[in-house]
Structure 1
Amino acid sequence: MSSPVWHPFTQHGLGEPIPLVTHAEGAILHTADGRRVIDAISSWWVTTHGHRHPRIMAAIAEQAGQLDQIIFAGWTHEPAETLANGLIEMMPAPLSRVFFSDSGSTSVEVALKMALGYWANRGEPRHRILTLEHSYHGDTIGAMSVGARGVFNRQYAPLLFDVGLIPFPAPDREQVALDALEAACRERPAALIVEPLILGAGGMLIYPAATLAEMRRICSNHSVLFIADEVMTGWGRTGTLLACEEAGVVPDILCLSKGLTGGSVPLAVTLATEAIYDAHYSTDRSRMFFHSSSYTANPIACAAANANLAIWREEPVLSRIAALAERQALHLAALADHRGVRNARQLGTITAVEVGSGEGDYLSELGPRLLRHFGANNILLRPLGNTIYVMPPYCIDETDLATIYREIMNAIESRDHGCAN
């Protein structure tokens, strides 16, 4: 009998093998059949310092011996209080309020509800949300609504609300996007939500920091709330703690997850300014912020996040990130010279290339062939259609990093995978 597990983003009808992972350490996964697999995408962008980081694992074990779970509506606990204070110290002012949730998608749902609640409670209801073309913000209903319409959500279109779509600021078309945003903001929308500097699931599409800064300026000029979804980019992926730092931008609302716990356990936060909190602050119970989940601010997850913050405060994390980015740049440069590679690009510890002919899409037949090649060679890479990207844990050593790029080169050169010209 086959496993009863229904895996995400997996077409079980294809009968593709699903490895059983038994344990992990650093940048390496170990499988039940004895394979050593290099985690080249940080297990879907979550693992920052490496799997089973000792400080984070110790914090989880200690907290599990004290308090496992407690309702967070009207109650609190020390790990959450410590984490909230630590985040406020680390994140830019005027972000001063921390709302806990469970995942990147739910942190986006919280952000959207905060934005709508802000305007409603001010007696100035605004309902429209603006978003960038090709965006991806998660798989819950609100998050899908502000993401690109297509294969990810076509079947669920009746559930999705309408949004204002701003063209992606592609090279030499940045002003087109900015002009469209300026026009849309004149219609007094509630908020703009963006993935700062790089669109992840949309194909690792990079745009300039200056464009991000100008988008923020336009929103501020029109009193449109600016939501930064840093679920992927936060915690150093782009070279700084937040991608917004590189543009000198501070959002009104900030979404964080994935690397918040070093990738060890699920947790998310949505940070907001005092003005957004104040719009919900009242003696009128009908104006409270109506959102929660059963596991909001789980103490064990908060303890893991506190250990992650301590690592950032006490260890040279940014230096490690810079060194990794420098090593990746050398490998990417060698890869970029190959005739089968297009649009080689890098942002911090994220690199990406297009392979094969044509633009391709998420359902490109090239993607599964590449996936099989990497799996057969003990590397965890999940191409986005014909886009191959690398986003490893910061602890990866040079031998394993070189192996990743060598196998990308081998995949491109293999005619069996349809990549060579």
Structure 2
Amino acid sequence: MSQSDTFFDYKHIWHPYASMINPVPCYTVISAKGVYLKLKNGKNIIDGMSSWWSVIHGYNHPILNKALKKQIRKMSHVMFGGITHPSAIALCRKLISLTPEKLDCVFLSDSGSVAVEVAMKMLIQYWQSLGQKRKLFLTIRNGYHGDTFAAMSVSDPENSFHKIYNNLLPTNLFADAPISSFYKDWDANDLISFQKIIEENSSKIAGVILEPIVQGVGGMNFYHPTYLKKIKILCDHYSIPIIFDEIATGFGRTGKIFAFEHANVIPDILCLGKSMTGGTITLAATLASRHIADTISNSKTGCFMHGPTYMGNPLACAVANANIKILKTNQWKTQVSNIEKQLFKNLLPLIDHPYVIDIRILGAIGVIECSRLVNMFSIQKFFVENGVWIRPFKKLIYIVPPYTISSHALKKLTNVITMALNNTKLFM
């Protein structure tokens, strides 16, 4: 990549959550292998982010690459309206076998945000099919469900990237986020806010939507499994369907194949994405119960009103099949367990650091909550110069490495985080 290419990128390409006037510098990656990103200057850096939670088996995995090559020789894409194909059928079989028996109707889409949109549209149409015009959704604060409009409307209106859109979004219901953390005692007071809202609005609520156990970029909070159990009991009591957004946590990230397994509960609708293809190509899925699917299908409309152009893309489905095949060898269980143990060993001692408020670890997720905001420009440069790719936000430095990371590479990530905490120039 030439100097002119770098300048063109800086001048004309709009990156995520970035300014076009004063953008944070981008680092050019020319190839990737395993857990390493190779920069244009030839330097290899360890990816601690799995390309935003998705590359769980590392880059350029031979099995995933082989699946893509095999499929592309047949066809790269075909419309899913009125047409089906073997890769999509095989994938939906695998998703149904991997998830609870209740979830047996699969709607494929092309991104996590769209999977959430689909889930919410399903419930609005579900209630319309029953002769009720319910449009309110109940969730908890500190949540994040994506950047499209319905997804933004159920992300925290105050503590998210979407505050500037608040006056344009549908108004939904937000209960206080639970304070009881995953590893500490359950406090029944956590349920008061949610219970009050659901009792007062039960006849208006179309559905509840939650990130089970792990709240992602809304604050990287890990809440107590009992909270999820109690929410499910309330939803069942009032016959309100519940959506679990497992886009970030699905496929082993928390030490369970799905995070809701920590609470031993089952949703009515499940949203999946990110690591479903092992981070090779975009794909998402919304799984619904037969009851919801049949209720919608028996309505006057007679069908669910949604259909992305790239729905069921054969390339994406083929590589997702290969990814799930890798997961079914169950190596991920040992890999994630080993990562968790090492994170406890290497990160927990930082709890006494003057810049650290809290350390949170679950599965292959490690979070350091700092007392000061990070200087994004400075800290990103510091990480790259020290051979790692970690992308913090606000007061959080967190890592979600590929499951295949070696003990040595993981130690490098945590060592560089320690070095960053000791550098006052990297904080505001």
TM-score, normalization by structure 1: 0.94
Equivalence for 2:416: 407
Establish whether residue 302 from structure 1 lines up as the match of residue 307 from structure 2.
no
Secondary structure, counterpart of 2:286 in structure 1? strand
Cα distance, 1:165 vs structure 2:
0.4
TM-aligned CA deviation for residue 173 of structure 1? 8.9
Q: What's the offset of the Cα at 1:369?
A: 3.2
Alignment of 1:282-297 (within 5 A): 282=298, 284=300, 286-297=301-312
Measured in 2, the distance between the counterparts of 1:368 and 1:90 equals 41
Checking the alignment, whether the CA contact within 8 Å between 2:139 and 2:175 is kept in structure 1 is yes
1:36 equivalenced with 2:52 (yes/no): no
1:154 corresponds in structure 2 to 163
Length, aligned pairs only: 412
Deviations 1:254-291 (A, max 9, x none): 0000111111110000000000111122384x231000
Q: Structure 1 counterpart of 2:318, which letter?
A: A
Asked if 1:143 corresponds to 2:154, the answer is no
**1:31-56 alpha-carbon deviations (Å, 9 max, x no partner):** 11111111101111111111111111
Q: Distance in 2 between matches of 1:399 and 1:215?
A: 41
Is 1:277 aligned to residue 290 of structure 2? no
Is it true that 1:354 corresponds to 2:369 in the alignment? yes
Shift of 1:367: 3.9
The equivalent of 1:343 in structure 2 is 358
CA deviations on 1:64-109 (whole Å, 9 max, x unpaired) are: 0001111111211000000001111111121111000011100000
Q: Alignment partner of 1:14: what SS?
A: coil
* Amino acid paired to 1:277: A
Q: Does 1:83 align with 2:91?
A: yes
Q: Offset of 1:379 from its aligned partner?
A: 1.5
Residues 1:210 and 2:226 are matched in the alignment: yes
Q: Which residue of 1 aligns with 2:3?
A: none
Per the alignment, residue 198 of structure 2 pairs with 185
3-state secondary structure, aligned to 2:253: coil
Q: Offset at 1:317? A: 1.8
Cα distance between partner residues in 1 of 2:292 and 2:253? 28
1:328 alignment partner in structure 2: 343
Q: Give the alignment's Cα RMSD to 1 decimal.
A: 1.7
Q: For residues 232-271 of structure 1, what are the structure 2 equivalents within 5 Å? A: 232-271=248-287
C-alpha distance in 1 between matches for 2:198 and 2:134: 12
Corresponding residue for residue 65 of structure 1: 73
> Which stretch of structure 1 is more off in the superposition, 14-23 or 187-196?
14-23
Take 1:370 and 1:93, find their aligned partners in 2: how far apart are those partners? Answer: 46
For residues 95-135 of structure 1, the C-alpha deviation after alignment (integer angstroms, 9 at most, x for no partner) is 11100001110000000001111111011332110111011
Q: Is the 8 A contact 1:169 1:175 kept in 2?
A: no
Q: 2:8 aligns with which of 2, 18, 25?
A: 2
**What secondary structure is seen at the aligned counterpart in 1 of 2:151?**
helix
Query: 1:177 & 1:279 partners in 2: Cα distance?
Result: 34
Whichever residue aligns with residue 132 of structure 2, its letter is E
C-alpha distance in 1 between matches for 2:222 and 2:299: 45
Pick closer, same or farther for the CA change 1:31–1:289 going to 2, 3 Å.
same
SS in 2 for 1:120: helix
Quick check: 1:137–1:229 contact (8 Å CA) kept in 2?
yes
Deviation readout 1:339-368 (Å, 9 max, x if unpaired) = 3322111111111112234xxxxxx45344
Aligned equivalents of 1:299, 1:205: Cα separation in 2: 36
| Percent of residue pairs identical | 35
Task: Find the aligned partners of 1:384 and 1:203 in 2 and give their Cα distance.
Answer: 9
Aligned-pair CA distance for 1:11: 2.3
Q: Contact 2:129–2:298 (CA<8 Å) still a contact in 1?
A: no
AA of the residue aligned to 1:179: I
Q: 1:47 touches 1:393 (CA, 8 Å); kept in 2?
A: yes
Q: Distance in 2 between matches of 1:414 and 1:20?
A: 25
Aligned to 1:165: 174
1:99 aligns with 2:128: no
The amino acid of 1:322's aligned partner reads: S
One-letter amino acid matched to 1:355 = C
Moved more, 119-128 or 23-32: 119-128
